[in-house]
Amino acid sequence: MFDFKDHVVLVTGAGAGIGFGIAHAFHETGARVALGDLREPALARAGERLGRSERVFTGAMDVRDGHSVAEFLKAAESALGPVTVAVANAGIYPNCPVLDMTTEEWDRVMETNLRGVFLTCQAVGRSMVAQGTPGKLITISSGAYNSGRRGAAHYCASKAGVVMFTKVLAMELAPHRINVNCIAPGLITVDRDVNQVSDEYVRTLVGTIPWGRAGAPEDIAKAALFLASPFAEFITGEVLSVDGGSGTGRTWLPFSGPARGR
């Protein structure tokens, strides 16, 4: 259904989890893919899983550092060609109550989850505008952008920031025919070395998902393929929730009156 053989796709945080799932999906559709990650062992494994070919570029990068982002983009475009699709996925998911949180913990989340998205989109956006060609930028937020959770004030705030950043950037880049959209995943099952969440947390949250299961990286990857495709040409500045319906409301409540029918 999707054909990206003429595209170069850059994905940050692509060593594992959602990022690798997105990179893998684009690679399967024929794209040349540039995988960036701070975790070099994970990045090496990701490259091996994709088969290491002329269509795959991997490079260590720190999305918090503008120089690192610029150097990665330069190397990726030198190896694969001009980037036409970028997915700003890199993020961290710590837990800490506000009253116990240090300034360093707050800053670490904001620097990765929000500054990292800004620096990635800015660098790729500048490259696309300089080339004068249309492109697609996709940010990754979370259902946490509009649904708070105890212990995650910094995370929730960073993901809310990603959403508003996406909307403003979409306005600014529309004249250049660059679409900017956001995916907001719900609970996604990834390797435990990617996200540390308790079994109790997972069981409780799955119980509130109308679809009856947690998501998988492939679910987010399919959304990214759609937003990067010609089918989404007239969509920009939007947030696409991929959460099995968990964001629909208070799904745990019983019927407010006598149940009727099925």
182 backbone dihedrals φ, ψ, rounded to 5°: -125, 140
Residue 201 designated active-site: no
**Which tokens hold the place of 178?**
């660059």
Q: Is the dihedral of CA 170, 92, 87, 1 positive or negative?
A: negative
Contacts 24+ apart (CB under 8 A), 191-200: 191/16, 191/17, 193/16, 194/16, 194/17, 195/17, 195/93, 196/93, 197/93
Instruction: Give residue for tokens 């062992």.
Output: 41
More confident residue, 233 or 1: 233
pLDDT(250) > 60: yes
pLDDT(144) > 80: yes
Instruction: Give residue for tokens 């508003």.
Output: 164
Q: Pairing between strand 32-37 and 56-60? A: parallel
**Which tokens hold the place of 8?**
């170069």
Q: Pairing between strand 239-242 and 32-37? A: unpaired
The whole-angstrom separation of Cα 19 and Cα 10 is 10
Q: What is the residue-averaged pLDDT of the chain?
A: 94
221 backbone dihedrals φ, ψ, rounded to 5°: -60, -40
The identity of residue 32, as a single letter, is R
The single residue of 93, 145, 155, 201 carrying the catalytic annotation is 155
Angle between helices 153-173 and 103-110 (to 10 degrees): 30
| pLDDT tens string 32-68 | 999 999 999 999 999 999 997 899 999 999 999 999 9
| pLDDT tens string 82-126 | 999 999 999 999 999 999 999 999 999 999 999 999 999 999 999
Please tell me the predicted confidence (pLDDT) of residue 204.
87
Q: What is the DSSP letter of 59?
A: E
pLDDT(259) > 80: no
Please tell me the predicted confidence (pLDDT) of residue 16.
96
Please tell me the predicted confidence (pLDDT) of residue 260.
65
Buried b / exposed e over 104-120, threshold 16 CB at 10 Å, is: eebeebbbbbbbbbbbb
**Which tokens hold the place of 122?**
């800015």
Please tell me the predicted confidence (pLDDT) of residue 261.
61
The whole-angstrom separation of Cα 81 and Cα 238 is 28
84 backbone dihedrals φ, ψ, rounded to 5°: -110, -20
Out of 12-16, 110-114, 189-193, least confident range: 189-193
Q: Which domains does the chain have, with CATH numbers?
A: 8-248 (3.40.50.720)
Q: DSSP assignment of 118-136, as one string?
A: HHHHHHHHHHHHHHT--EE
As a whole-number percent, the residues of the chain with pLDDT over 70 amount to 96
In this structure, the number of other CB atoms found within 10 A of the CB of residue 202 comes to: 13
Instruction: Give residue for tokens 């330069």.
Output: 74
